Amino acid sequence: DIQMTQSPASLSASLRETVSIECLASEDIYNNLAWYQQKPGKSPQLLIYYASSLQDGVPSRFSGSGSGTQYSLKIKSLESEDAATYFCLQDSEYPNTFGAGTKLELK
């Protein structure tokens, strides 16, 4: 099974700051990497798919990059609504596996 190591586990940042979250796959996942945002009591929302493609309706301050085994999500100019937990997902092969999550807190 492909293991997804996500870092950091938690993050505290200020409004208008830029942050990055990383996911490291245990083997090459050929850009089959998605990022999700989840707020308390809500279902996850797709932000980025295929490593860098922005899902319809997602603000352009979210961006994804990476290749091979290393991927990152960047959030520019943080807004209060960005406080949430973020997960990565590899859908390169079954079993699909998620990262453990990054809890983003706004100062």
Phi, psi of 25 (to 5 degrees): -90, 150
Q: Which residues of this protein are in contact with another protein, per CB under 8 A?
A: 1, 32, 34, 36, 43-46, 49-50, 55, 87, 89, 91, 94-101
Closest contact distance (angstroms) between CB of 33 and another protein is 8
Angle at 35 between CA 28 and CA 58, to 5 degrees: 140
Please count the other Cβ atoms lying within 10 Å of the Cβ belonging to residue 96: 14
Return the number of the residue (15 or 34) whose C-beta is nearest another protein: 34
Closest contact distance (angstroms) between CB of 31 and another protein is 10
